Amino acid sequence: MLNKYPAWKYILILITLGLGTLYSLPNLYPDDFAIQITGNQSSLVPDESLHKKVTKLLSESGVETISSVLEKKNLLVRFSSSESQLTAKSVLQDQLGDDYIAALNMAPTTPDWLKNLGAGPMKLGLDLRGGVHFLLEVDMEKALSQKLKIYTSELKSVMRDEKVRYRSAQIDGIDGITIKFKKVEERAKAESLAISKYREFTRTSTDVENDYFLTLRLSEARIKEIEDYAIQQNLITLRNRVNELGVAEPLVQRQGRNRIVVELPGVQDTATAKRIIGKTANLEFRLEAKPDASSRSSQKFKFKNETSRTAFLEKDIIVTGSNVSNANAGFDENGVAQVNISLDGNGGKMMLDATKRSIKRRMGVLFIEQKSVTSRKIVDGEEVVTRNNREIRNIINLATIQSAFGNSFRITGLDSSAEASELALLLRAGSLAAPIYFVEERTVGPSLGAQNINAGLLSMQIGFGLVLIFMLVYYRVFGIVANVALAINVVLLCAFMSLISATLTLPGIAGIVLTVGMAVDANVLIFERIREELANGLSPQQAIHAGYSRAFVTIFDANITTLIAAVILFAVGTGPVKGFAVTLSLGIITSLFTSVVLTRAIVNLVYGGRQINKLSIG
């Protein structure tokens, strides 16, 4: 019998619609305006006394709150409007001082029963929710310099092992190392070593009076590899650190040759965001300089939190944080905080070689931080703001090497278990291959996000309404069927995006509008085909069957080609383009289901399995 679905198909469709409705429901619960209060240091955690103080301050200031909850590492206060949120932010930041940071945020209101089912709302992008945008620049010269330092240390170690006598080995420019010899025979040995072990260098020999020089310069291909590695490692490091520090749906991506874009939706406080991004720490392991060491081979450093205590360390670096494969915080037998470190294969070998020949000497651990320094001055009556990164290097541990060790050891000298946990987190997430500098910072306020949402929703409502009216007037009963399918299509699309935690952006809303148009286009093709079959003399039942069967190939081909284009956009696009591609791709899938399968099921229920003489199709 024509135009009849078996019962199992209807059951499957109903299950799909039920699940789609369930998982789209969280989007009906808008986020609350909130303030998240966190400690300025990892060791400072909000407690009940702070909770009472905040409640009292807001009450005395006449700011109404929905609730305030003391969570694991922060205090979350909810408000009914952005005006109350901003007023509370001003009051709290003034009264709490520098010990705590009061950051603007948005707090979800999804009921617990939906959360328990794994249902949650769509994530909103920076343009809809607000947040902060940073443009960072990677210091490529520093990346090359750091790599050349490691090469220099390796070369010195190799030449010592091979009994090659040299007078000095120093970095030459941004891409080379110059080694000075007293005898030409020694230079020949070193050149032979370079040919066998360091093929990424080009070699140049020069003679100056009685001195013989060998200059090794990195090839252009190797320089590009180092620069690409610096960008990729910094990308991975920043992503890991932002994720581990709990920022939802961050965007961290490369821009051009040496820049990285970081967007943090939902974070409105630039200082808070910079603290998250700026938590860049690295380690360097160096031997303590010998008493008779010259100033050219050693450096003086202060101890962390001990401004009067100093020590001299050799300039040669044994390993850095980039060689750390794993790091975990713990305690020693005396209950003192420590970090247990594991090195990668290359780092373990270099550490073993260094400690094997340095037993009874002391090895220092340098803790390196990048801190942003802002300076302001008046130029021609206008304030000029200059921002620079300052590198701070302090010794956190200086201990005697009792025996040789390789890839596993521990470091102490940290202030607290919280600092040890934070250092382990940063090392575990990966070290920066090169310093980064803030080139641009921009805050997108929640009010602008709300305007974007309202504008996007208005465009959807107008477009959707016009389509509904057109379909109803032009196709009558079949138009009603198409309109029902369109509404369900949007519900299913929202459910899919919520399930896969996709981020909705303003271009994503445009993708939803386009999806509605494509779904209508499919129904128009089907309905017009049914009209043609009726005009050709087929019965209503035969026309329905032929209309769906013969239009399907055209609809499928059109949607597949569009899906391929959307996948390419997702693969090569960035930010907003990806958001558009995601909603378009998911919309194609849902519109195929609703415009072909769902409308056919409804039409079968209305007309299938009975004798009819006329179709209400305009």
Give yes or no for residue 244 having a pLDDT over 60. Answer: no
Place 484 in a pLDDT band, splitting at 50, 70 and 90.
very high
Q: In terms of pLDDT, which residue wins out, 71 or 599? A: 599
pLDDT tens readout for residues 142-172: 888 888 888 888 888 888 888 888 888 888 8
Mean residue pLDDT across the chain: 82
Name the packing angle between helices 540-572 and 506-535 (round to 10°).
150
Q: Tokens 């807001």 — which residue?
A: 58
Any idea which of 204-218, 321-335, 422-436, 533-547 has the lowest mean pLDDT? 422-436
Q: Tokens 């967007």 — which residue?
A: 263
Place 386 in a pLDDT band, splitting at 50, 70 and 90.
low
Place 15 in a pLDDT band, splitting at 50, 70 and 90.
very high
182 in Cβ contact with 211 (< 8 Å): yes
Q: Which two tokens stand for residue 209?
A: 């009076």
Give yes or no for residue 580 having a pLDDT over 70. Answer: yes
% residues pLDDT > 70 (the chain): 87
Place 25 in a pLDDT band, splitting at 50, 70 and 90.
very high
Place 24 in a pLDDT band, splitting at 50, 70 and 90.
very high
* Distance in angstroms (rounded) separating the CA atoms of residues 16 and 157: 66
Q: In terms of pLDDT, which residue wins out, 466 or 445? A: 466
Q: Rg of the Cα trace of the chain? A: 33
Q: What is the pLDDT of residue 1?
A: 59
Q: What is the pLDDT of residue 241?
A: 67
404 in Cβ contact with 359 (< 8 Å): yes
* Distance in angstroms (rounded) separating the CA atoms of residues 393 and 390: 10
Place 8 in a pLDDT band, splitting at 50, 70 and 90.
very high
Pairing of strands 75-79, 201-208: unpaired
Any idea which of 66-70, 201-205, 393-397 has the lowest mean pLDDT? 393-397
Give yes or no for residue 272 having a pLDDT over 70. Answer: no
454 in Cβ contact with 128 (< 8 Å): no
291 SS3 class: coil
**What are the backbone dihedrals phi and psi of residue 376, each rounded to the nearest 5 degrees, phi first?**
-125, 135
Place 78 in a pLDDT band, splitting at 50, 70 and 90.
very high
Any idea which of 66-75, 95-104, 172-181, 531-540 has the lowest mean pLDDT? 95-104
List Cα–Cα distances, 306 to 62, 285, 421, 512, in angstroms.
45, 19, 21, 59
Q: What is the pLDDT of residue 488?
A: 93
Give yes or no for residue 21 having a pLDDT over 90. Answer: yes
Place 290 in a pLDDT band, splitting at 50, 70 and 90.
confident
Instruction: Set out the domains of the chain in order of their start, with CATH numbers.
Output: 7-26+446-607 (1.20.1640.10), 32-107 (3.30.70.260), 140-221 (3.30.1360), 280-444 (3.30.1360.200)
Q: What is the pLDDT of residue 20?
A: 93
Q: pTM higher than 0.85, yes or no?
A: no
Taking the CB of residue 241, how many other CB atoms lie within 10 A of it? 24
Give yes or no for residue 313 having a pLDDT over 90. Answer: yes
Any idea which of 8-12, 128-132, 267-271, 589-593 has the lowest mean pLDDT? 267-271
Give yes or no for residue 243 having a pLDDT over 70. Answer: no
Sorted by sequence, the CB contacts under 8 Å of residue 546 that are 6+ apart come out as 529, 530, 533, 538
Sorted by sequence, the CB contacts under 8 Å of residue 499 that are 6+ apart come out as 23
Mean pLDDT of 196-210: 86
Sorted by sequence, the CB contacts under 8 Å of residue 125 that are 6+ apart come out as 249, 251, 263, 265, 503, 504, 505, 506, 508, 575, 576, 579
Sorted by sequence, the CB contacts under 8 Å of residue 281 that are 6+ apart come out as 321, 367, 368, 369, 422, 423, 426, 427, 431
**E strand map for 474-600:** 503-504
Q: Which two tokens stand for residue 120?
A: 């949650």
Q: What is the pLDDT of residue 441?
A: 75
Mean pLDDT of 412-423: 69
Give yes or no for residue 611 having a pLDDT over 90. Answer: no
Any idea which of 146-155, 282-291, 445-454, 459-468 has the lowest mean pLDDT? 445-454
Q: What is the pLDDT of residue 262?
A: 87
Range picked from 333-337, 426-430, 558-562 for highest mean pLDDT = 558-562
Query: CA-based angle 255:261:264, to the nearest 5?
Result: 155
